[in-house]
Amino acid sequence: MTQIALDAEIIPMKSPRISLAMELKEEDMSGQTSGTDGSEQGDKGIVLSVTGLIPFKEPHVLKRLVVLSRQKRDKKRVIYRIGNELAKSMTIRQVRFMGRITADEQENLMAWKISFQLREYLSSSEATEQQEREQENEPQQDSTEQTAVVTPKAHAAVSNDTESTAPTRFEAALRQKERQLA
Residue 168: band (very low, low, confident or very high) from pLDDT cuts 50, 70, 90: confident
Distance separating alpha carbons of residues 68 and 114, to the nearest angstrom: 14
What residue spans define the domains of the chain?
A: 5-26+41-124
Report whether pLDDT(19) > 80. yes
What distances in angstroms separate CA 125 from CA 21, 40, 43, 92, one per listed residue?
Answer: 15, 13, 7, 11
Three-state SS annotation for 132-152: HHHHHHCCCCCCCCCCCCCCC
Distance separating alpha carbons of residues 123 and 119, to the nearest angstrom: 10
| The model's pTM | 0.61
- Exposed e or buried b per residue across 43-57, where buried means at least 16 C-beta atoms within 10 angstroms of its C-beta: bbbbbbebebbbbee
Residue 134: band (very low, low, confident or very high) from pLDDT cuts 50, 70, 90: confident
Looking at every residue in the chain, the average pLDDT score rounds to: 81
Please state which of the ranges 18-22, 91-95, 148-152, 162-166 shows the lowest mean pLDDT.
162-166
Q: If you average pLDDT over residues 59-69, what whole number do you get? A: 93
Report whether pLDDT(63) > 90. yes
Residue 35: band (very low, low, confident or very high) from pLDDT cuts 50, 70, 90: low
Instruction: Determine whether domain 5-26+41-124 maps to CATH 3.40.50.
Output: no
Which positions ≥6 away from 58 have C-beta within 8 Å?
Answer: 12
Phi-psi region of 102 (alpha: psi -120 to 50; beta: other; left: phi over 0): beta
**Could you tell me which of 66, 46, 45 has the C-alpha nearest to residue 114?**
66
Report whether pLDDT(87) > 80. yes
Report whether pLDDT(163) > 70. no
pLDDT at 20: 92
Helix residue ranges, H only, 11-109? 59-70, 85-89
Residue 52: band (very low, low, confident or very high) from pLDDT cuts 50, 70, 90: very high
32 φ, ψ (degrees, to nearest 5): -90, 0
